[in-house]
Amino acid sequence: MFKEMILILGVVFIAFSAFGCAEVQVWERGNLAKPHMAFDPDPLEKRFMQHVHESKTASSGGYGVGGGGCGCN
Amino acid sequence: MSEKQKIVHSILAAFEYLVFVGCLCVGVAVSYANALEIGDSLPALTVTGEGGERISLDDYSGKVVYLDVWASWCKTCRHSLPWMDGLQRRFGSQGLQILAVNVDEDPKDAQKFLESSEVKLLVGYDPGGKIPAALRVQTMPTSYLIGRDGKLKAIHGGLNDERMKEIEKEIEELISQKGEG
């Protein structure tokens, strides 16, 4: 009985914790749109690394998707 | 554990699951619901202008108003400003008023961008994001086309060449409806 109570409390806690997650609204994404927030802030260096990777592995394409987090794409 | 207890626990677990899923669905529905529909009157909106003056939508009643929510960090928004400037020059004398509501957290970012461009639009600043929150903006930029009667005629989320032509056509139509809305 005690174990089940703990389980139920755990589920309730997780459920309420999930509601605590705040959504970043589209107009609040100024910081996320900054270049240094990108996974690859330097596009030239990224392209160079991709070129090296493609040469070494004889593969190409499949890199990333469009959009930088501003919600405008 | 007795059979009765098992049934009670199963019912409790099912109830919790339903409450959880229900709350999630309500949350998603609320966050994606458009606050405004075509034909609605817009709520009283006020922003602060370049010189600290108060700009209200009511000041432009009787005009066709194109309200655009933009930010300097949004590339599409940056591209849209010169186009809107052209619209204001073209249709301004016929009763079009473009109000570009900037939602940068720091208005200086927008002012810096505006200084570097030759855009001469009516810009209002809303760093707290009260207007996009009230209008439930879901895309940057989002624009609202308001007729002479103060009623919402169109909402446009995002912008591209095709959409620009569509908006221009809508503006032309609204302007031609003198006094009728």
With b for 16 or more beta-carbon neighbours within 10 A and e for fewer, the A10-33 pattern comes to: eeeeebeeeeeeeeebbbbbbeeb
Among A2-11, A39-48, B66-75, the minimum mean pLDDT is found in A39-48
Is 70 exceeded by the pLDDT of residue B11? yes
In the predicted model, what is the mean pLDDT of residues B100-109?
94
Is 60 exceeded by the pLDDT of residue B105? yes
Do residues B129 and A27 lie in contact, with contact meaning Cβ atoms separated by under 8 Å?
Answer: yes
Rounded CA separation A27/B80 (Å): 16
Residue A34 domain-assigned?
yes
Q: Does A12 touch chain B (CB under 8 A)?
A: yes
C-alpha of B10 from chain center: 46
What residues in A contact B105, CB-CB < 8 Å?
A: 28, 30-31
Do residues A70 and A27 lie in contact, with contact meaning Cβ atoms separated by under 8 Å?
Answer: no
**Which of 51-70 (A) contact B at CB < 8 A?**
70
Return the higher-pLDDT residue of A23 and B147.
B147
Indicate the number of domains in chain A. Answer: 1
Q: What one-letter code names the amino acid at B69?
A: V
Is residue B70 very low, low, confident or very high in pLDDT (cuts 50, 70, 90)? very high
What residues in A contact B133, CB-CB < 8 Å?
A: 25
Q: What one-letter code names the amino acid at B90?
A: R
Do residues A2 and A40 lie in contact, with contact meaning Cβ atoms separated by under 8 Å?
Answer: no
Is residue B170 very low, low, confident or very high in pLDDT (cuts 50, 70, 90)? very high
Is 60 exceeded by the pLDDT of residue B180? no
- For residue A48, what are the domain limits? 28-56
Residue A22 domain-assigned?
no
Report chain B's mean pLDDT, rounded to a whole number: 87
pLDDT score recorded for residue B111: 92
Secondary structure element (H or E) that encloses residue A72, with its range: none
Percent over 70 (pLDDT), chain B: 90
Asked if A72 and B12 come within 8 Å (Cβ–Cβ), the reply is no
Is residue A71 very low, low, confident or very high in pLDDT (cuts 50, 70, 90)? low
DSSP labels for A3-71?
HHHHHHHHHHHHHHHHHTPPPPPGGG-TTTTSGGGSSSS-HHHHHHHHHHHHHHHT-------S--SSS
Please identify which residue in the block is written with the tokens 């009787």. B62
Is 80 exceeded by the pLDDT of residue A40? no
What six digits make up the tokens of B58?
């009511």
Choose the mutation target among A7, A12, A27 for the interface with B, i.e. most B CBs under 10 Å: A27
What residues in A contact B124, CB-CB < 8 Å?
A: none
Is 90 exceeded by the pLDDT of residue B66? yes
Residue A42 domain-assigned?
yes
Is 80 exceeded by the pLDDT of residue A56? yes
pLDDT score recorded for residue B181: 43
Highest mean pLDDT (candidates B10-24, B40-54, B75-89):
B75-89
Residue A63 domain-assigned?
no
Residue B134: count of CB within 10 angstroms of its CB: 15
In the predicted model, what is the mean pLDDT of residues B115-140?
92
Among B66-70, B115-119, B165-169, the minimum mean pLDDT is found in B115-119
Is 60 exceeded by the pLDDT of residue B147? yes
Rounded CA separation B21/B92 (Å): 50
Choose the mutation target among B1, B135, B139 for the interface with A, i.e. most A CBs under 10 Å: B139
Residue B159: which of A35, A71, A66 has the closest Cα? Answer: A71
How far B31 CA sits from the closest chain A CA (Å)? 9
- The angle that helices B3-32 and A2-19 make with each other, rounded to 10 degrees, is 0
Residue A6 domain-assigned?
no
pLDDT score recorded for residue B44: 87
What residues in A contact B73, CB-CB < 8 Å?
A: 29-30, 33-34, 70
Residue B86: which of B118, B131, B54 has the closest Cα? Answer: B118
In the predicted model, what is the mean pLDDT of residues A22-30?
88
pLDDT score recorded for residue A70: 67
Asked if A72 and B76 come within 8 Å (Cβ–Cβ), the reply is yes
What residues in B contact A24, CB-CB < 8 Å?
A: none
Phi/psi region, residue B64 (left: phi>0; alpha: psi -120 to 50; beta: rest), is beta
Percent over 90 (pLDDT), chain A: 5
Residue A41 domain-assigned?
yes
Residue A18 domain-assigned?
no
Asked if B139 and A72 come within 8 Å (Cβ–Cβ), the reply is yes
Asked if B76 and A34 come within 8 Å (Cβ–Cβ), the reply is no
pLDDT score recorded for residue B175: 92
